[in-house]
Every structure is written in C-alpha cells, then in structure tokens.
Homo-oligomer: A and B are copies of this chain.
Amino acid sequence: MVVELISVGTEILLGNIVNTNAAYLAEQVAALGLSCYYQSVIGDNEARLCEGIRTALSRSDIVILSGGLGPTQDDLTKECAAKVLGKELIMDAHSKEMIEAFFAKRDKKPTENNWKQAMVPKECIVLDNPNGTAPGIIMEENGKTVILLPGPPNELIPMFETSVMPHLAQKTDGVIVSKTVKICGMGESSVETMIEDMLERQVNPTIAPYAKTGEVHLRVTAKAVDDKTAKKLLKPVVKELKSRFETNVYTTEDATTLEQAVVDLLLDRKLTVSTVESCTGGMLAARLINVAGVSEVFKMGHITYSNKAKRKILGVKRSTLDKYTAVSAEVAHDMAKGLSSISKADVAVSVTGLAGPDGGTKETPVGTVFIGCSVNGNVTVQRYQFSGNRAKIRESAVAAALTLMRSCILADYSLTFRN
C-alpha cells in the first residue's frame, strides 16, 4: 500500500510555517509499514488542489490531506476532495452538535461560517475532533482512500492517533514494530562507535540513531507477518543495546521523556527535589514540572540569575563569587549546598553558566556551564562546554542537569535500601 501526503496551505508555500505535520505523518505511515513516495504542498487554490488530488490518486492508494478544513471561504480541501471523488456534501448532524458543544464549553457561540465545517461528503467516515471545530474525514472509493485532517498539529495528531492509525493498520499486510532505546550522557558519535558492528550487519531489525539535545535515540524496527513475530525479532537486539549502554539507557518506552524518567526515579526512591538555576532561568524546573504528578517530589525552585539573588536566597558568599566568578565549580557547589539546606530536599540541583552571546573569556568561554547536584548532602559538580546559540546552550544545560541528577541518584547505592 502506497500513501501520499498533501499539505494544503498558502502559509506553507510562503514559508511562514515549517511543515511539521508532514514529518509527523510520514513517520507514522512508515511505522505502520506503508510506503510513501511523494509528499507535496499545494496552496488554497481550487484548480491546483483538485489536480493535485487527481495526480496523487493515480499513483498512490491512500492520500492523506492536511489543512484547509477551516470555516472560511479560503478553505477548500473538503470541497475539492469531494469534487474529485464525485461526492455531494451534506450536513452532518453529529458534527454540528460537536461544534456546538465545542463552543458551549468555551462560553462562546459558533459563527454562521462554522456550519460549513459540519458539511461532510456523502457516505464517508466522520472523525471527531475534540480539540477543534473541523471534523476529519475518511472517504473510500474504488479501492482508494482519501483522508482529510485538520491543519493545527494539536488537532491533527490526536485525531491521527485515535482514528486514522487503527483504520490504516487494517490495510497493511505485515506489521512494523519499533522500540526506541533512549540514551543520555553520551554523544552521537560515541554511541555509533559502540554499535558499529550492529549498524553494519543490520537487516531486520534495523537500527536508526537519532541525535536529540543531550540524548541519542536508537530506533529498532522489525518487520514481520504479525506483531508477535516482530516483537520476538526486536527482543534480542534491544537486550544487546541495553547491555552495551547499561545505565545510560534511561528508557525503552516511546512515551517516556528524560524528565519523566528522572521523576519516576525520584518517586521510586521516595526522594524530593529542588532546583536553582542561573543561565537556564527556570527551564530545568519547567521540564520537571511538565511531568504530571511531579508535585509528589518537587519541593521548590529558584532562579538566581543575579549574584545578589545567589547570595540572598542561597547564602553563596560574596567572597566566593568575587574569587571564582559566578560561573565556576565553587559557586555551583555552594548553590547546590545552599539549596539543599534551605529546601530540605533530598536532591538539590544547581545550574550556573554562560549562555552568551556576550561575556565569554578565554578561561570561561560562552557555553561553559557548571552543574551541581547534592544527594543527601553529597555534592557532585560537573563542568560542561556546550556550543550553539543562547537557546541551544540553555537546552543542552537542562538535558545535562537531568542526566547528572539521574546518575547521582543511581550512584548513591545507600539510597537503594532506604525504604
């Protein structure tokens, strides 16, 4: 089965937005074991859109269109798809109710043009959109499938996962099963070197490395006749990767992020945590707090961007700041120590660094970051040198802080027997 993606929208043609929907859909389609030979972008223009749909149907089995389902006259995807397939548009009572409910929940009233969104092609499958007003649509005709999805990613992604994925899964003759081995605390090239032999001899399963900020993900993908056989193929490869990378593997679950793994570890060990940040300015706490249920473990966070705040809140000595400067191992140490004492948290993490663009010196160039981690009073301090712009350096520092927290907790074996 060959799938083709058409992204509809003048804003993509003008380069005003990056087409992340296409990357998302392509990845999902590949994971389902379906092939994708073409992706295209077409503006909100009836003639070109109809022609694009016709061309796609002539060479692919399943055409997924995203965008152009809005309430305005500009939005033409549904009208064009229905026209090409020779289907009439009719009012869908259920979609109308969903739209009414969507607005009612927000204490608002739909406008007249919202009813255009409740019009659907005759004999189609209507997909509910709990996150917006445009329902999705699946049309089947002469062995071909046309799927229409709303453009906003926060509507498209849940709809794809809830309604489209199960529909497409029925159409594949084999299955593709993937598992991602997520590694922290190592760079991409070190990871690749350690599995060079495995990368060279890979056939089925395949191993694909993806570098993320502060992490490397190894996606292991097996193709087989059924789920059980595919999983059986995956198992020894995942086991081998886990044994090679040991504790650097923080999860093999797709949904688990590094911050989730750290929070899980804290919960598991019954440890509380506090943070204090200088250059990352709250990003570390924000990532931890992105984990639902973090309230069990998170005691408090501070942002001490200025030296005065470091002194006032954490009791870092003026003499230490003067002697070593704010971006130093000593200050990172004293920040973690001070935080541990004021917050009474079991784990206290400090970040101080120079994110730039200005202020670098030969000894402390832009990108220098010190991270301190106190676990039950034992403070570890690590120096890092990151590259990239201000945002990239800050992101790298947050990933490094999560990694250091994790390894300090894991290294403190005394904790294992705590409860």
Contact partner of A301 among B14, B305, B357, CB < 8 A? B305
Are the C-beta atoms of A285 and B303 separated by less than 8 Å?
Answer: yes
Interface segment among A329-337, A374-382, A388-396, A402-410: the answer is A388-396
Are the C-beta atoms of A15 and B26 separated by less than 8 Å?
Answer: yes
Are the C-beta atoms of A298 and B288 separated by less than 8 Å?
Answer: no
Does A106 touch B at the CB level, under 8 Å? Answer: yes
Main secondary structure of the interface of A (DSSP, over half): mixed
Q: Count chain B CB atoms within 10 A of each CB in A41, A43, A277 and give the residue with the most.
A: A41
Are the C-beta atoms of B16 and A19 separated by less than 8 Å?
Answer: no
Given contacts A15-B26, A37-B42, A300-B309, contact A281 B288 (CB under 8 A): yes
Does A36 touch B at the CB level, under 8 Å? Answer: yes
Are the C-beta atoms of A290 and B285 separated by less than 8 Å?
Answer: no
Are the C-beta atoms of B37 and A27 separated by less than 8 Å?
Answer: no
> In the assembly, what is the distance between CA of A311 and CA of B187, in Å?
42
Which A3-55 residues have a C-beta within 8 angstroms of B? 11-20, 22-30, 36-43, 45, 48, 52
> In the assembly, what is the distance between CA of A286 and CA of B280, in Å?
7
Interface 1/0s, chain A 257-301, versus B by CB < 8 A? 000000000000000000101011111111011101011001111
Contact partner of A15 among B25, B277, B285, B301, CB < 8 A? B25
> In the assembly, what is the distance between CA of A36 and CA of B305, in Å?
45
Does A384 touch B at the CB level, under 8 Å? Answer: no
Does A419 touch B at the CB level, under 8 Å? Answer: no
> In the assembly, what is the distance between CA of A392 and CA of B154, in Å?
9
Does A306 touch B at the CB level, under 8 Å? Answer: yes
Are the C-beta atoms of A40 and B39 separated by less than 8 Å?
Answer: yes
Are the C-beta atoms of A292 and B358 separated by less than 8 Å?
Answer: yes
Does A210 touch B at the CB level, under 8 Å? Answer: yes
Name the CB-closest residue of B to A298.
B305
Are the C-beta atoms of A389 and B154 separated by less than 8 Å?
Answer: yes
Are the C-beta atoms of B37 and A15 separated by less than 8 Å?
Answer: no
Are the C-beta atoms of B282 and A16 separated by less than 8 Å?
Answer: no
Residues of B within 8 A of A93 (CB): none
> In the assembly, what is the distance between CA of A266 and CA of B289, in Å?
28
Given contacts A281-B289, A284-B282, A305-B294, contact A14 B26 (CB under 8 A): yes
Are the C-beta atoms of B43 and A41 separated by less than 8 Å?
Answer: no
Are the C-beta atoms of B30 and A38 separated by less than 8 Å?
Answer: no
> In the assembly, what is the distance between CA of A294 and CA of B390, in Å?
13
Residues of B within 8 A of A394 (CB): 286, 290
Are the C-beta atoms of B36 and A22 separated by less than 8 Å?
Answer: no
> In the assembly, what is the distance between CA of A387 and CA of B29, in Å?
29
Residues of B within 8 A of A303 (CB): 275, 282, 285, 289, 298, 300-303
Q: List 16 additional contacts besides A105-B387, A279-B289, A289-B305; criterion CB under 8 Å.
A: A13-B36, A13-B37, A13-B38, A19-B22, A38-B40, A38-B52, A40-B41, A106-B385, A275-B303, A281-B285, A281-B286, A282-B282, A282-B285, A292-B358, A300-B303, A300-B304
Could you list 30 examples of A-B contacts with CB < 8 Å? A11-B208, A13-B26, A13-B36, A13-B38, A14-B30, A15-B22, A15-B25, A15-B27, A15-B29, A16-B210, A18-B20, A19-B23, A38-B48, A39-B40, A39-B41, A40-B40, A106-B387, A280-B286, A281-B285, A281-B286, A281-B288, A282-B285, A282-B289, A286-B286, A289-B305, A292-B356, A299-B309, A300-B306, A301-B303, A302-B303
- A: residues with CB less than 8 A from B are 11-20, 22-30, 36-43, 45, 48, 52, 105-106, 111, 131, 154, 189, 208, 210, 219, 275, 277, 279-286, 288-290, 292, 294-295, 298-306, 308-309, 312-313, 356-358, 385, 387-392, 394
Q: Which 3 A-B pairs have the closest CB atoms?
A: A282-B282, A281-B289, A301-B303
